Amino acid sequence: MDKPPHPFYRHLDRELAAVREAGLYKTERVITTPQGAHVQTLNAEGSPRDVLNLCANNYLGLSAHPAVLEAAHAALRSHGYGLSSVRFICGTQDLHKQLEARLARFLGTEDTILYAAAFDANGGLFEPLLGEQDAIISDTLNHASIIDGIRLCKARRYRYQHNDMADLERCLQQAAADGARFTLVFTDGVFSMDGTIAQLDVIRRLCDQYGALLGVDECHATGFLGATGRGTHEHRGVFGQIDIITGTLGKALGGASGGFTSGRRAVIELLRQRSRPYLFSNTVAPVIVGASLAVLDLLESSTELRDRLADNTRFFRDAIRAAGFQIRPGDHPIVPIMVHDAVLAQRLSARLLELGVYAVGFFYPVVPQGQARIRVQLSAAHTRSDLEHAVAAFAQAGRELGLVA
C-alpha cells in the first residue's frame, strides 16, 4: 500500500485553497515569442494569439533589440556560457570589470558591484554597511527586496509615510534623538504601482540638513529617466549626489537579469568583502554582461530611445485621458488607469485581451482597497499605431463595462 502523504502536504493544499478563495491566486500567461511590443500568448485552450504588450518593463524596447542580441552572441562566442564560480574564486572576467566601470560612469558614481539580481543587491546591501548603532529610514512603499534587506540588518528602523517629506523629516529627527551614529535614508526612485517619482532633490536637502546618507533603488528609472536616461537623480537635478544606487539589468537595460549597487569606492569595496549574495552566489553570465555593455553604448551614443519613450508616454497619457479614463497624473511610462473596483479591473483586463491588448489588473493587497487599476507600461518599441489601437481597445472595453461614456 502507498504511504499516506505527510500532513505537511495537506497543510499546503489548505494554504493554496485559501489563496484561491481570497482571490489572490496568481497564474502565469505563457508567451511563445521574444519579449516585445507584440507577443504571442497561449490562451486557455493552448492556441496562440498575437497581442500588443502593455505590461513589460521593456521600457526602451531592448529585450530583443538586434544590437543587443548581436552583442550577446558575440560575448557567448568570446567568453563562453557560464563561469561556474563566484566572483572572488574564478568568476571575474574582463567584461565584468568593464561593465562595473561603465555603470559607475553612467550613474555618476565611483564604482559598481554586480549581483545576480537587484533583489540580491538590495538583500545584501544594508547588513554589511550598517550596525546596531545606526539608523535606516525607509519609505513605506519601498520594494520588497529593500524591506527584506533592511530586515537582515541590525540597524534601527524608521518608516515614513509614502512620499511624505514632513514625515521623513520627523524620522530624521527621531533617529538623531535616538543617538544614531550613521543614518541612511533609502527610497525607490520610482514606485512601480503608481509611477510616482521620488522627490530626490528634497530628500537630498533633508539628508544634508541632518547629516544623513541617501540611497535609491533605480530599477524603474535607469536608462530612461532624466534628459540622458541616467535616472531619477538626473530627472530631479541631483545627479552625482546620491550615496548609494541600486538597480537592475532586468528591466530597461535589456531585461535579462542581473543587478548592481553603485556608489563611493569604499562602499563597493566593503560590499565585495562582506555582501553575502555576492560572496555566495554565481557570477552574472558573460552573455548578459556583454549585452549590457552594448546597451550602455547605445544609451551613451544617443537619447533617441528615451526620447521616443517620453513621446509615447505623453501621447498615451493624453489620449487615454481624452477617452475618459482617470489616470494617476505624472510623466513616467508607468500609467495607472484607475478602475477602483477589483472585479471591474479583472473584467477590463480580460476584455482588453480579447481585443488584442495585454494589460494586467492590480488590486488589493498589491494596491490599497478601492484603488484597483490597470497598469500600463509604455515602451520605446511601441509605434503610434500600437498606442492608437490600445486607446481604442480601452475605449471600447470601457464603454462596454460602463467605465467611460
Residue numbers at the binding site for ligand PLP (CB under 6 A): 117-119, 122, 143, 145, 188, 192, 217, 219-220, 248, 250, 259
| Pick 192 or 232: Cβ nearer ligand PLP | 192
Q: Residue 138 Cβ, how far from ligand PLP at the closest point, in Å?
A: 12
| Pick 61 or 247: Cβ nearer ligand PLP | 247
**Residue 345: how many CB atoms within 10 A of its CB?**
25
Burial string for 181-205 (b: 16+ CB within 10 Å, else e) reads ebbbbbbbbbbbbbbbbbbbeebbe
Q: Residue 365 Cβ, how far from ligand PLP at the closest point, in Å?
A: 17
Q: Residue 289 Cβ, how far from ligand PLP at the closest point, in Å?
A: 14
Report which of 237, 242, 259, 241 is spatially closest to residue 250, judged by C-alpha positions: 259
Give catalytic status of residue 154 as yes or no: no
| Pick 72 or 252: Cβ nearer ligand PLP | 252
| Residues 6 or more apart whose Cβ sits within 8 Å of residue 259 | 114, 115, 116, 117, 118, 119, 120, 121, 122, 246, 247, 248, 249, 250
Give catalytic status of residue 3 as yes or no: no
| Pick 242 or 344: Cβ nearer ligand PLP | 242
| Pick 193 or 293: Cβ nearer ligand PLP | 193
79, 143, 220, 382: the active-site residue: 220
Q: Residue 42 Cβ, how far from ligand PLP at the closest point, in Å?
A: 24
| Residues 6 or more apart whose Cβ sits within 8 Å of residue 36 | 53, 58, 61, 63, 64, 381
63, 192, 262, 349: the active-site residue: 192
Q: Residue 251 Cβ, how far from ligand PLP at the closest point, in Å?
A: 6
Q: Residue 63 Cβ, how far from ligand PLP at the closest point, in Å?
A: 13
Residue with cell 508616454: 313
Q: Residue 152 Cβ, how far from ligand PLP at the closest point, in Å?
A: 15
| Pick 116 or 129: Cβ nearer ligand PLP | 116
The CA-CA-CA angle for residues 321, 327, 331, to 5°, reads 90
Cα gap 368→390, rounded to integer Å: 26
- φ, ψ at 331 (rounded to 5°): -135, 25
| Pick 223 or 259: Cβ nearer ligand PLP | 259
| Residues 6 or more apart whose Cβ sits within 8 Å of residue 309 | 59, 60, 224, 333, 378, 379, 380
Residues marked as catalytic: 192, 220, 251
